[in-house]
Chain A
Amino acid sequence: MSLISVKNLVRYYGNYCAVDDISFTLQAGDILGFLGPNGAGKSTTMQILSGNLAPSEGEILINGIDLLDHPKQAKASIGYLPEVPPLYKEMTVDEYLYYCAKLHNIRKIEIRDTVDLARKRCGLADIGKRLIGNLSKGYQQRVGIAQAILHSPKIIILDEPTVGLDPNQIREIRELIAELGKEHGIILCTHILPEVQAVCNRVQIINEGKLVYEADKDQLLNNQETNSYEVRLLNPPSINDLSNIDNVNNVERLHDNTFLVHMDENSADSLTRAAVENNWGLNKLAPYKQTLEQIFVELTLGEADSAAETATSDEGQNL
Chain B
Amino acid sequence: MIATIALRELRSMFLSPLAWVVLAVTQAVLAWVFLSQIEVFFSIQAQLTTMTNAPGVTDLVVAPLLEIASIILLMVSPLLTMRLISEEHQNGTFSLLLSAPVSITQITLGKYLGIILFYILFIAMISLMPLSLTMGTDLDLGKLAAGLLGLFLLLSAFAAAGLFLSSLTTSPVVAAVSTFGLLLLLWILDKSGGSGNADNVFTYLALTSHILPMLRGIINSADISYFVLFVTTFLLLTIRQMDARRLQQ
- The interface bits of chain B over 9-47 (1 if a CB of A lies within 8 angstroms of the residue's CB, else 0) are 001100110000000000000000000000000000000
- Given A51-B99, A53-B249; A86-B8 close (CB under 8 Å): no
Residue A182 interfacial (CB < 8 Å): no
Which one of A71, A83, A85, A103 contacts B97 once the chains associate, using CB atoms below 8 Å? A103
Nearest first, the 7 closest Cβ-Cβ pairs linking A and B are A86-B96, A84-B92, A80-B99, A50-B99, A103-B100, A76-B101, A90-B15
Which one of A52, A54, A85, A99 contacts B99 once the chains associate, using CB atoms below 8 Å? A52
Residue B200 interfacial (CB < 8 Å): no
Q: In which size bucket is the chain B interface? A: 20 to 34
Q: Could you tell me which residues of chain A, from 148 to 205, have a CB within 8 Å of some CB in chain B?
A: none
B-side contacts of A82, CB under 8 Å: 92, 95, 99
Q: Which residue of B lies closest to A104 (CB)?
A: B100
Which B residues form the contact surface with A (CB < 8 A)?
1, 4-5, 8, 11-12, 15-16, 91-103, 246-247, 249
Q: Within the complex, what minimum Cβ distance (angstroms) separates A156 from chain B?
A: 11
- The interface bits of chain A over 83-106 (1 if a CB of B lies within 8 angstroms of the residue's CB, else 0) are 111111111000100011011110
Contact B102 A100 (CB under 8 A): no
Q: Give the size of the chain A interface in residues (CB under 8 angstroms).
A: 32
A-side contacts of B8, CB under 8 Å: 88, 99
Q: Within the complex, what minimum Cβ distance (angstroms) separates A129 from chain B?
A: 15
Residue A75 interfacial (CB < 8 Å): yes
Contact B15 A100 (CB under 8 A): no
Assembly CA distance A248 to B92 (angstroms): 58
Assembly CA distance A76 to B102 (angstroms): 9
Assembly CA distance A58 to B101 (angstroms): 21
Do most interface residues of chain B lie in helix, strand or loop, or is the interface mixed? helix
Contact B249 A105 (CB under 8 A): no
Give me 29 A-to-B residue pairs in the complex whose CB atoms sit less than 8 angstroms apart, sorted by A's number: A13-B249, A50-B98, A50-B99, A51-B99, A52-B99, A53-B249, A54-B246, A54-B247, A72-B103, A75-B102, A76-B101, A80-B95, A86-B93, A87-B93, A88-B8, A88-B91, A90-B12, A90-B16, A91-B12, A95-B11, A99-B8, A100-B100, A102-B4, A103-B1, A103-B97, A103-B100, A103-B101, A105-B101, A147-B96
Q: Within the complex, what minimum Cβ distance (angstroms) separates A163 from chain B?
A: 14
Which one of A54, A71, A72, A100 contacts B96 once the chains associate, using CB atoms below 8 Å? A100
Residue A270 interfacial (CB < 8 Å): no
A-side contacts of B93, CB under 8 Å: 86-88
Contact B98 A51 (CB under 8 A): yes
Q: Which of A71, A72, A88 has the most CB of B within 10 A?
A: A88
Q: Within the complex, what minimum Cβ distance (angstroms) separates B71 from chain A?
A: 30
Which one of B5, B94, B102, B247 contacts A86 once the chains associate, using CB atoms below 8 Å? B94
Q: Within the complex, what minimum Cβ distance (angstroms) separates A145 from chain B?
A: 13
B-side contacts of A102, CB under 8 Å: 1, 4
18 extra A-B contacts, CB within 8 A, seeds A75-B100, A91-B11, A103-B1? A51-B98, A52-B95, A53-B249, A71-B103, A72-B103, A75-B101, A82-B95, A82-B99, A84-B92, A86-B91, A86-B93, A88-B91, A89-B91, A90-B15, A99-B8, A103-B96, A103-B97, A105-B1
- Given A72-B102, A72-B103, A73-B101; A103-B4 close (CB under 8 Å): yes
Q: Which residue of B lies closest to A101 (CB)?
A: B4
- The interface bits of chain A over 275-314 (1 if a CB of B lies within 8 angstroms of the residue's CB, else 0) are 0000000000000000000000000000000000000000
A-side contacts of B4, CB under 8 Å: 99, 102-103
Contact A86 B95 (CB under 8 A): yes
Q: Within the complex, what minimum Cβ distance (angstroms) separates B83 from chain A?
A: 11
Q: Which residue of A lies closest to B110 (CB)?
A: A103
Assembly CA distance A39 to B96 (angstroms): 23
Assembly CA distance A91 to B16 (angstroms): 11
Residue A4 interfacial (CB < 8 Å): no
Residue A78 interfacial (CB < 8 Å): yes
Contact A86 B249 (CB under 8 A): no
B-side contacts of A88, CB under 8 Å: 8, 12, 91, 93
B-side contacts of A75, CB under 8 Å: 99-102
B-side contacts of A100, CB under 8 Å: 96, 100
Assembly CA distance A174 to B99 (angstroms): 23
Q: Could you tell me which residues of chain A, from 44 to 83, have a CB within 8 Å of some CB in chain B?
A: 47, 50-54, 71-73, 75-76, 78, 80, 82-83
Assembly CA distance A53 to B95 (angstroms): 10
Assembly CA distance A131 to B96 (angstroms): 18
Assembly CA distance A88 to B15 (angstroms): 11
Q: Which residue of B lies closest to A90 (CB)?
A: B15
B-side contacts of A52, CB under 8 Å: 95, 98-99, 246
Assembly CA distance A84 to B94 (angstroms): 11
A-side contacts of B16, CB under 8 Å: 90
Q: Within the complex, what minimum Cβ distance (angstroms) separates B38 from chain A?
A: 40
Assembly CA distance A71 to B107 (angstroms): 14
A-side contacts of B96, CB under 8 Å: 86, 100, 103, 147
